[in-house]
Amino acid sequence: MAKQEFPGWHGTTIIGVRKGGKVVIAGDGQVSLGQTVIKGTARKVRRIAPGGHQVICGFAGSTADAFTLLERLEKKLEATPGQLARASVELAKDWRTDKYLQKLEAMLIVSDGKELLVITGAGDVLEPEHDVTAIGSGGNYALAAGRAMMETDLSAEDVARKSMAIAADICVYTNGNLTVETIG
């Protein structure tokens, strides 16, 4: 069997929702090694504050790789204060072209309260069309649920929480122990 290109992507669920002037990023706490749950309370959503500008980030994939990328993003944001899109593009360019960074297996959802972006190792910086985005093994389940709930009166946080609950019911690599960060 051929090795999957990015096997670390199949072990978590992260969702980002922008609604009502707020952005929420939520992630589950399960860490799996193969078919074994190693930990159920990991924090895969974090707040960073480079230069005093608040940014929330969620990651799927290898934890060490994601932390390396978050550190790089923080440095890019310090160089371009208040310009999340520009810092994200610079990170994606480095990630795509740097021999060391190319080996990193993770994806990020980031927001400063205005922008909501997904950053990938393929050099992509994507803004969702429907103000909902999700990554990880349960990402498609959470994304579908979130899109379905966007037209309701639910808040951004409620959409994120309910979407994550649906993903946790379907995806064996996702649990209901959530970390939720709000900005905006």
166 within domain boundaries = yes
Residue 133 annotated in active site: no
Task: Give Cα 62 to chain centroid, integer Å.
Answer: 12
In this prediction the pTM is 0.91
CA distance 131 to 159: 11
- The response to whether 168 counts as a known ligand-binding position is yes
H helix intervals, the chain: 63-79, 84-97, 139-149, 156-170
Choice between 43 and 53, residue whose per-residue pLDDT is larger: 43
184 within domain boundaries = no
- Taking CA atoms, 17 is separated from 52, 91, 96, 104, 149, in Å, by 23, 22, 26, 26, 11
| Domain residue limits at 35 | 10-174
Tell me the average pLDDT of the chain: 91
180 within domain boundaries = no
- The response to whether 174 counts as a known ligand-binding position is yes
Say what percent of the chain tops pLDDT 70.
95
| Number of separate domains in the chain | 1
182 within domain boundaries = no
State the CATH number of the domain containing residue 166. 3.60.20.10
141-176: per-residue pLDDT in tens? 999 999 999 999 999 999 999 999 999 999 999 999
For residue 177, the SS3 value is: coil
